[in-house]
Structure 1
């Protein structure tokens, strides 16, 4: 059961979109994938066709120590989503308090999912330091830090490298890597930041996602970039990143026998 955390030191970098499309890419390659939303904005579900009016989620049940897997929604072949849900401010505060103070809280909720054979979990987090990221990081196999190809993201690179996001190293298993989003070759600053990141990060930069208007249009239609514009530059970039993630985690892709076994099992 690989668990991937998608995080960022700042908001507005397209982290949730990267999370959703990475999940779709891995599912298309044959993995059974669950996307979990740890952000109170509850936006990840919209990328999987869940209606805006559907307020279901796991947080209110989590407060009652229920099994979070009961809140999983099916989002297509091999694809599942666990929405945060519509919650009150008091419920959000209680959930974050339990994450921060009860060392068994997270495992009680995720136990069934963490032990499900062949399941890949991709978790999306609010920007910056937060209780959910700190709690889940202890279980994570890999962190993907999403940044923009701009000077604001560049200025926050030392924040990540000096372990100031959660006050400790992000990952003690497969490590932490970077994804550079919305790189625009038409803009001088974007080109320079992209070149610097590539040189400075080396193999820790898993990929660069080119700025592509198809991504925003896909989001508006609640589709993955692969369904909306499979031949787009962004689709190619994200698929390449998914293959690198799979290689790091030892996830087998393109194995028909494995695909069949996953599709015929019950979640």
Structure 2
């Protein structure tokens, strides 16, 4: 069970879009993939075609349920999503407090899912430090950090390297890696920042996603970039990144068979 955390110190870097499209890419290769949303904005579900009016999620009931797997939604094929869901402020606070005070709270809630054979789990987090990110980091196999090809993101590299996201080394298993998002060859500053990050990060930079209007249009239509524009530059870039992640984690791409639920032994 590989667990991938997608996190960033900065908002607006395309973190949720990247999480969703990586899930699609891995599932296209035959893996069964679960996307988990730890962001109160509850936006990840929309990338999987879950209606805006569907407010189901795990956080509101998390403190009352030892197993969070019943809140998983099947979104088609090998893809599943565990939405944050609609919550009251008191429910959100209670969830964060349990994450902070009970070191086993998260591992208990996700135990069934994290022990499901062959399941790839990719989790999305709010920008910056959060109780969920700190709690799950000890379980994670890899952290993926998207940054924009701009000077604001560039200035945050020391923040990440000084362990400010979780207060400790970001990943002690397969390591932490970066993605440069929305690199625009038409803009000098974007080219310069991309080049600097390529040189500075070396093998820790898994890929560069070029600016592509198809991504915005795919999001608006609640489709993956692979369904909306499979020959686009962004689709090529994200698929390449997904293959590198699979290689690092030794993910078996699966048998190409479409599964429809997460029942043990299915």
For normalisation by structure 2, the TM-score amounts to: 0.97
Equivalences for 1:1-267 in 2 at 5 Å? 1-253=1-253, 258-260=255-257, 263=259, 266-267=262-263
More helix as a share of residues: 1
User: CA separation in 2, counterparts of 1:135 and 1:202?
Assistant: 28
1:232 positional shift: 0.2
1:208 positional shift: 0.3
Alpha-carbon deviations, 1:186-215, whole Å to 9, x = none? 001000000000001000000000000000
Answer whether contact 1:56 1:85 (CA < 8 A) is retained.
yes
User: CA separation in 1, counterparts of 2:173 and 2:256?
Assistant: 26
1:108 positional shift: 1.2
Q: Which runs of 4+ in 1 moved over 4 A?
A: none
**1:199 to 1:76, Cα distance in 2 relative to 1, 3 A:** same
Answer whether contact 2:133 2:166 (CA < 8 A) is retained.
yes
Structure 2 unaligned runs (5+)? Answer: none
1:151 positional shift: 0.2
1:235 positional shift: 0.1
C-alpha root-mean-square deviation of aligned residues, in Å? 1.1
Structure 1 unaligned runs (5+)? Answer: none
For normalisation by structure 1, the TM-score amounts to: 0.96
SS of residue matched to 1:60: helix
User: CA separation in 2, counterparts of 1:65 and 1:172?
Assistant: 29
Answer whether contact 1:65 1:108 (CA < 8 A) is retained.
no
Alpha-carbon deviations, 1:68-124, whole Å to 9, x = none? 100000111100000000001111011000001101111110000010000000000
User: CA separation in 1, counterparts of 2:127 and 2:191?
Assistant: 24
**1:241 to 1:188, Cα distance in 2 relative to 1, 3 A:** same
